[in-house]
Amino acid sequence: MPVPYRWTLLYTLPFALLASAGLHAAPLDYTACTDNILPGSLCAMHAVPASDEAQGQGKETLQLFVRKIPAKGISKGSVWLVAGGPGESGASFYSLLPTLRRSFAGFDLLIPDHRGTGYSSRLCPAEEAADSPGGMALAGAEWASCFKDLNTAPARARQFSISNAAQDLRSLVGTTQGNRPVYVYGVSYGTQLVLRSLQLGALPVRGVILDSLVPPQNDPRWDLSQRSQVVNEVGLQVLAQCDADAACHAMLGEPAQTLYRRVLDKLRQEPALLATIPGKNLKHFIGGMLDVPAARARIPALLQDLDHGGGTELAAVRGLLNQAASSLGSYPQSSISIPLVSMISNAENNLRPGLTRADVDGEEATLLMTSPLPRILLGGGLPTYFQDRYFSQLPASLPPVLVLQGTLDPKTPYAGAQAQVAALRQAGAGQAGAGKVTLATIGQAPHFILWAAPACFEQSVQRFIAGKPVQDCALTL
C-alpha cells in the first residue's frame, strides 16, 4: 500500500542554526492530504539532520511528517501537538479533534509524527513500511530482521534519541512564522520531549501545556522500572475510596483489600477461573483498568463477582476497555514503534538497568496491582545510547507553562508531577520563566487529561490562552 499523501521535500537546516534565537525557517509547503483520513487536512514533509553531528549540506537527513488541521475562519495562531510514547505517532490525537478544536478555538492544529513513528522516517524502513507484511507494525520475521539491522548499525539506531527528537521539534516550531501566537502541547512522554527542547534554548511560543507531566528523570521512586509500584499505589487509593464510601463498603461487606487478597488466592487454586482473566494475570488486568475511569469504578464489583465465581462483571469490564481503546481510533500510522519505545525508555527512564526477571517476580509478589512494563524493559535486545548532558536537567527559563495532572494517574503519578513542577520553578528562579508554571489538579482523573477528562481540559486550556487564572477541576463520570 503506497504512503497516502504527497509532499515536497523542503530543505535541510543545520542544528547549529536552529540553536540560534528566533528559530526562523521557511514555512512548510502543505498540500491537500490524499488519504481522506481527516477531510480538509493538509500534509507536509520536513527534512531534518539525522543527528546533531549531521550538520551541513550533503549530510544524512530524516523526514518528519506533519498534518495540519486548519482553523475554521481566520486563524488566530498555531498549536503544535506533541504525542506521547515514546513510539506513538500524531495519530493518537485524530479522534480527539472535537475537544482540541473547542479548546484551541480559532487555532491551526499542527500534528507531527515523531522521528521513528507514523509517516516520518522509521528505525527499520523496510519492515515498518506501509506495504510490508505487518504494515507499519512489526510482524513475524520482521522482528528478527529489524533487530538484526539495528544491532549491525547501532549508529543509526542512536539517531533516534530524545535529544535529536527535541531538535526536530525546535525545527518544526521554527517553521510557524509571523506575529500570530504559537503554543505547544505535549502529553506524557511528549512533556519530556518538550522540556528537552526547551533545554536547548528558548522557543518562540506564547505558552506550553503539559498534560500528565513526567516526574524528574533522576528520582528512583518513579522511573519506568518502578511502574508496578506506581500502579499499585493508585490501585490502593481506589480500594481505600471504596472503603470510605458507605454504599461501596456496604456492597462488599468487608475491606476491599481483604476481598482482593481472597480473590487472588482463589485464582491460584482454580486454574479454570484464572484462565478467564486476560493474560491470566489479575494484577496486570486490574492495573490496566486504572487507566479507564468507567472501568476503574467497577473494580469492587468485579472482585465481588470473581469471588462468587461469576463472569458477568468481567465481560462488562472487558467491553468497557475495548470501547475505550476504540475511542482513540485506528489509522494506518497508529501502530506504536516498539523498537523506539525500547531504546528511549531504557536510555532515558530506566534507573535500574540491571533489574532481573527474578527481581521483578519478587517485587510483584508483594503488590496487588502491577504493570507489564518492568518486564518489557528486561533484555531489550536493541542498542541504546548514552545519556547526554541534558539528562535530568531542566530549562533555565520557560514561557508560561500550564501543567494538567490527574490525582489518580497510574503512569505519571501526581506526586511526581508535583516534584517536577517544584523543580521547574526552582530552575527558573531569577530567570525569565520564574513563577510562570501553573499546576492544575484534575481530581480523580487518570493519565491523558485530554482524553480522560475533556471538559476539564477544555476549561483549563481556554482560560490559560485567555490569560486568566486556571482553576482545579474534577473528573465526573
First CA to last CA distance, the chain: 41
Query: Is 164 found in the same domain as 301?
Result: no
Residue 142 is assigned to a structural domain of this protein = yes
Identify which of 332, 337, 375, 331 has the alpha carbon closest to the alpha carbon of residue 143: 337
Residue 21 confidence (pLDDT): 39
Query: Is 407 found in the same domain as 384?
Result: no
**pLDDT mean over 382-393:** 89
Rounded Cα gap, residues 207 and 231, in angstroms: 31
Final residue in a domain of this structure, among 152, 173, 205: 205
Query: Is 163 found in the same domain as 62?
Result: yes
Residue 26 confidence (pLDDT): 83
**pLDDT mean over 418-438:** 77
Residue 3 confidence (pLDDT): 32
Residue 383 confidence (pLDDT): 83
Residue 332 confidence (pLDDT): 87
Whether pLDDT at 117 is above 60: yes
What whole-number percentage of the chain has pLDDT above 90? 73
Contact 203, 395 (CB under 8 A): no
Residue 380 confidence (pLDDT): 66
* Of 30-44, 123-137, 298-312, minimum mean pLDDT range: 123-137
**pLDDT mean over 455-468:** 97
Query: Is 22 found in the same domain as 158?
Result: yes
Residue 24 confidence (pLDDT): 62
Contact 444, 474 (CB under 8 A): yes
**pLDDT mean over 106-118:** 96
Rounded Cα gap, residues 343 and 345, in angstroms: 6
Residue 15 confidence (pLDDT): 33
Contact 68, 93 (CB under 8 A): no
Query: Is 138 found in the same domain as 16?
Result: yes
Contact 109, 68 (CB under 8 A): yes
**pLDDT mean over 23-36:** 85
Rounded Cα gap, residues 155 and 158, in angstroms: 5
Query: Is 341 found in the same domain as 271?
Result: yes
Residue 210 is assigned to a structural domain of this protein = no
- The angle subtended at Cα 435 by Cα 430 and Cα 437, nearest 5°, is 125
**pLDDT mean over 75-96:** 95
Whether pLDDT at 187 is above 70: yes
Q: Assign residue 175 a region: left if phi > 0, alpha if psi is -120 to 50, beta otherwise?
A: alpha
Select the more confidently predicted residue: 25 or 123. Answer: 123
**pLDDT mean over 274-279:** 94
Residue 476 confidence (pLDDT): 84
Rounded Cα gap, residues 414 and 406, in angstroms: 6
Whether pLDDT at 112 is above 50: yes
Query: Is 156 found in the same domain as 20?
Result: yes
- The angle subtended at Cα 406 by Cα 333 and Cα 448, nearest 5°, is 5
Query: Is 249 found in the same domain as 194?
Result: no
pLDDT category of residue 9 using cuts at 50, 70 and 90: very low
Whether pLDDT at 55 is above 60: no
Final residue in a domain of this structure, among 391, 423, 454: 391
Residue type, 271: P
Domain holding 175, by residue range, is 1-205
Residue 191 confidence (pLDDT): 98
Whether pLDDT at 176 is above 60: yes
Residue 280 confidence (pLDDT): 96
What whole-number percentage of the chain has pLDDT above 70? 92
Residue 5 confidence (pLDDT): 29
In this structure, the dihedral spanned by the alpha carbons of residues 420, 338, 450 and 419, taken in order and rounded to 10 degrees, is -10
Residue 284 is assigned to a structural domain of this protein = yes
Residue 407 is assigned to a structural domain of this protein = yes
Report the SS3 class of residue 446: coil
Rounded Cα gap, residues 342 and 376, in angstroms: 8
Residue 130 is assigned to a structural domain of this protein = yes
Length of the chain: 477
Residue 23 confidence (pLDDT): 58
Query: Is 270 found in the same domain as 354?
Result: yes
CATH number for the domain that contains residue 189 = 3.40.50
Query: Is 348 found in the same domain as 449?
Result: no
Question: Could you give the number of structural domains in the chain?
Answer: 3
Whether pLDDT at 10 is above 50: no
Report the SS3 class of residue 326: helix
**pLDDT mean over 178-188:** 93
Q: What is the mean pLDDT of the chain?
A: 89
Residue 172 confidence (pLDDT): 96
Identify which of 363, 373, 407, 188 has the alpha carbon closest to the alpha carbon of residue 287: 373
Residue 28 is assigned to a structural domain of this protein = yes
Beta strands in 171-305 (DSSP E): 182-187, 207-211
Final residue in a domain of this structure, among 391, 418, 445: 391
Select the more confidently predicted residue: 31 or 379. Answer: 31
Query: Is 249 found in the same domain as 231?
Result: yes
Residue 211 is assigned to a structural domain of this protein = no
Select the more confidently predicted residue: 427 or 454. Answer: 454
Whether pLDDT at 443 is above 60: yes
Residue 296 confidence (pLDDT): 98
Query: Is 380 found in the same domain as 281?
Result: yes
Residue 213 is assigned to a structural domain of this protein = no
| Residue 463 vs residues 81, 105, 167, 460, 472: alpha-carbon distances, Å | 18, 12, 29, 5, 12
Rounded Cα gap, residues 414 and 132, in angstroms: 41
Residue 197 confidence (pLDDT): 96
Digit-coded pLDDT (tens) for 410-421: 999 999 999 999
